Structure 1
């Protein structure tokens, strides 16, 4: 798979008609390509980052990329700060309250440190989950699905590749692209 066809490119969608890859690109681009589709195979559209199915109603005019106006909330929305509820024990609140900058600053610092420390592991998990979401939707009835899923989560790349190689080419290639990050980061300690 060439780098330009790698499914993990951010903000892109890929559409399948049956087991055939039909369209790939941004939301508007895929929408335009699918509006031209006259075949009879069912269409499934996937988010290339999460592997999740995307609902794109082709009967409607092309969706306009607009930012939804959210109601005013607590926090600093213009800076991207969002207020949410956190439930902690009293001793945790006491510790957070004694930290420089208060609870919010301490929590942000702890989250950033955990993200840095566990980045590799989180990337592997995210890639495997994305691949599994796609597998379930597209290949759940194909021969070797359960074995391929076990190989994916066990990190057994050769077995996974051998099992999905028997599947339709477009499905296998897309799936290998989704799973690629999990293989390349598997032994990354950061």
Structure 2
């Protein structure tokens, strides 16, 4: 999950109307103004990358909201450790891997050892599945947005089924009666969901 920072790309809605899109610092101010102008309508801000709903303190005045956004949100403070002799940190994370004995034997016999072989295998698998990963991420982001904005709208369930089935035409037809801004944003989020 990406941290909240002022430059995060996002989109805000006031009710079913898209009110702003761009960097969070600008979108949050528009969202705050919309909340003040239309207190009866829900104001939602979504991260563009994954359509997660951002919890922002829109009740704050502009200056305080910008100050809040300037603080690191969702990023744990790095632990300060004393440097020890040995290899420099390369961002390698040690975790447990459970394999059968013959798999460990095969890994140990590979040039470079088990760690290098596992990293190479993971990199190769990532390349092979990159388009599937993009499609799955687009489906999940679109569905997350659809749940937040359109769960009560006609065709929601059928549109969700079409999204995960990869049926672009059915997806579009089930969204046809949705409010324009919501429909257009859902279609934009789903761009990679229908790539074969």
Q: TM-score, normalised by structure 2?
A: 0.78
Aligned equivalents of 2:89 and 2:11: distance in 1? Answer: 32
Match of 1:56 in 2: 56
Aligned equivalents of 2:127 and 2:49: distance in 1? Answer: 20
Quick one: higher RCO (CA 8 Å, sep 6+), 1 or 2? 1
In our comparison, the structure showing a higher alpha carbon Rg is 2
Aligned-partner SS, 2:69? coil
Q: TM-score, normalised by structure 1?
A: 0.80
Match of 1:71 in 2: 79
Residue segments in structure 2 that go unaligned for 5+ positions in a row = 1-6, 82-86
The correspondence for 1:85, drawn from 76, 86, 96, is: 96
* 1:141 and 2:152 aligned: yes
Q: Contact 2:135 / 2:192 at 8 angstroms: preserved in 1?
A: yes
RMSD between aligned alpha carbons? 2.4
Aligned-partner SS, 1:53? coil
1:93–1:43 distance in 2 versus 1, CA, 3 Å: farther
Deviation at 1:68, TM superposition (A): 4.5
* 1:24 and 2:21 aligned: yes
For each residue in 1:81-110, what CA deviation from the matched residue of structure 2 results, as whole angstroms up to 9, or x when unmatched? 333333333333333233222222112111
Q: Contact 1:28 / 1:62 at 8 angstroms: preserved in 2?
A: no
* 1:34 and 2:31 aligned: yes
The correspondence for 2:165, drawn from 154, 160, 167, is: 154
Aligned equivalents of 1:34 and 1:152: distance in 2? Answer: 29
Q: Contact 1:16 / 1:43 at 8 angstroms: preserved in 2?
A: yes
Deviating beyond 6 angstroms after TM superposition, the runs of 4 or more aligned structure 1 residues are none
Aligned-partner SS, 2:31? helix
* 1:166 and 2:173 aligned: no
Deviation at 1:140, TM superposition (A): 0.9
Q: Contact 1:32 / 1:62 at 8 angstroms: preserved in 2?
A: no
